[in-house]
């Protein structure tokens, strides 16, 4: 009996064999579960810093409402946590994750979870509909113009780096057979939770701006809730597939590739270009729209002019159309600081090179 108990205790500390994908799920679930304590600790840190001020200064800040605002932010954290815990429970059930496996989660920054809240607002709230339409509508217009629906089988479209899948959803609503591929497991869980989970609550109110204390106009602006629409307002689309993974590992060809705010995530932009070419059917099209905000370790940081030169000189693409726009991507439109990306886009048709 004692031996069995000892063996059980030992097994608690032995990591089970986990695939990379399953480890990613476990890490994401742990991050969702840790949102509340980590966020509350940040508020406690602000209280500790506040306590260092002279009594007169503390009284002035308190009279102005600062401590009341910290308390209100704390309550809003609990409301956000309710939504994120539902996501976590959904993922545990969907992937059959055990408590033992969760013991071996690697740490994920809380900022990644906060990004989920921000992306929910950007992709699915009414508050950002104009900004969202300014990004997606120009792409839909060109997709329908250069790859129109016919009476036959619907064209197949791949959306790499799909985030919470709003662009892919809009493309699928037009009738295209659409595959969304997302490399972030947190994003994948969130998109499936909202689009493929019939058991979730009908709507949520989240507070996406509470974690930003700079550039705030007022307590009400920082704390305001944003509603995410009811599930029954989002139709189920059988022609929309949500997939987790690296788009460079996809082994299929599509009539169109649609990339939004995506190509500047590449470490090696030429690898992205090679993969996009291979994933596109002969005579298929690639619609790209976004900025060039290169990431942390790009091996080549091309200008837009250089990038277009590469496309043309490769002999693999013919640029059919170029277009421009602006988009804020993420952020609080009511804060004292906002930023706009200048966007550039193209429609290119795949050319088969002579061998």
Q: How confident is the model over 5-32, as a mean pLDDT? A: 80
Half-sphere exposure at residue 52, Cβ-oriented, CA atoms within 13 angstroms: 5
How do beta strands 156-160 and 177-182 pair? parallel
The pLDDT of residue 159 is 98
What residue has token string 């037009």? 174
Mean pLDDT, range 131-136, rounded to an integer: 94
Give the torsion sign (CA, 240, 190, 338, 307): negative
- Asked whether the CA dihedral 61, 63, 69, 72 is positive or negative, the reply is positive
d(CA 260, CA 192): 20
In this structure, what DSSP letter does residue 103 have? T
**What proportion of the chain, given as a percentage, has pLDDT over 90?**
81
| Choice between 48 and 14, residue whose per-residue pLDDT is larger | 48
Q: Helices 110-124 & 20-51, crossing angle to 10 degrees?
A: 100
Q: What's the mean per-residue pLDDT of the chain? A: 93
Give the pLDDT of residue 264: 96
Cβ proximity of 27 and 97 under 8 Å: no
**Res 191 pLDDT > 60:** yes
Higher-pLDDT residue of 152, 13: 152
Q: Does 182 score more than 90 pLDDT?
A: yes
User: What is the average per-residue pLDDT within 53-63?
Assistant: 98
Nearest to 207, CA basis, from 122, 130, 118:
118
Q: Which two tokens stand for residue 87?
A: 């996501």
> Is 150 or 139 the better-scoring residue by pLDDT?
139
Ranges 43-52, 220-229, 329-338: which has the least confidence: 329-338
Pairing mode, strands 156-160 and 226-228: unpaired
Within the chain, strands assigned E span 156-160, 177-182, 204-206, 226-228, 240-244, 254-260, 280-290, 317-327, 341-350
Q: Which CATH number fits domain 11-350: 2.40.30.110, 3.40.50.620, 2.40.128.20, 3.40.50.150?
A: 3.40.50.150
Structure tokens at 44: 């406690």
- The predicted pLDDT at position 1 comes to 54
Contact assessment for residue 151 and residue 168, using Cβ atoms and an 8 Å cutoff: no
Q: Which residues contact 134 (CB under 8 A, 6 or more apart)?
A: 325, 326, 327
């Amino acid at each position: 009996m004692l031996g069995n108990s000892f063996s059980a205790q030992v097994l608690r500390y032995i990591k089970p064999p986990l695939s990379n994908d399953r480890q990613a799920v476990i890490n994401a679930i742990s991050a969702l579960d840790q949102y509340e304590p980590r966020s509350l600790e940040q508020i406690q840190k602000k209280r500790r810093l506040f306590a260092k001020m002279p009594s007169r200064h503390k009284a002035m800040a308190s009279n102005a409402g600062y401590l009341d605002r910290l308390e209100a932010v704390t309550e809003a954290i609990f409301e956000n946590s309710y939504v994120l815990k539902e996501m976590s429970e959904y993922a545990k059930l969907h992937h059959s994750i055990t408590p033992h496996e969760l013991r071996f989660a690697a740490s994920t920054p809380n900022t990644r979870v906060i990004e989920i809240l921000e992306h929910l607002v950007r992709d699915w709230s009414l508050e950002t509909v104009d900004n969202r339409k300014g990004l997606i509508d120009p792409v839909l217009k060109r997709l329908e113009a250069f790859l129109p629906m016919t009476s036959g089988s619907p064209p197949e479209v791949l959306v790499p780096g799909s985030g919470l899948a709003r662009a892919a959803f809009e493309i699928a609503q037009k009738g295209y057979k659409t595959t969304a591929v997302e490399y972030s497991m947190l994003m994948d869980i969130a998109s499936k939770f909202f689009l493929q989970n019939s058991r979730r609550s009908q709507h949520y109110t989240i507070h996406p701006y509470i974690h930003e204390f700079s550039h705030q106009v007022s307590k009400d602006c920082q704390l305001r809730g944003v509603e995410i629409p009811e599930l029954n307002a989002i139709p189920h689309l059988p022609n929309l597939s949500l997939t987790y993974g690296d788009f460079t590992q996809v082994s299929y060809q599509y009539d169109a590739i649609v990339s939004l705010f995506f190509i500047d995530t590449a470490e090696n932009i030429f690898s992205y270009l090679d993969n996009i070419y291979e994933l596109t059917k002969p005579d298929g099209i690639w619609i790209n729209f976004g900025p060039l905000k290169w990431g942390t370790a790009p091996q080549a940081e091309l200008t837009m002019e250089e990038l277009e030169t590469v496309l043309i000189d490769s002999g693999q693409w013919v640029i059919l159309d170029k277009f421009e726009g602006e988009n804020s991507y993420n952020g609080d439109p009511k804060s004292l600081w906002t930023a706009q990306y200048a966007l550039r886009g193209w429609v290119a048709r795949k050319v088969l090179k002579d061998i």
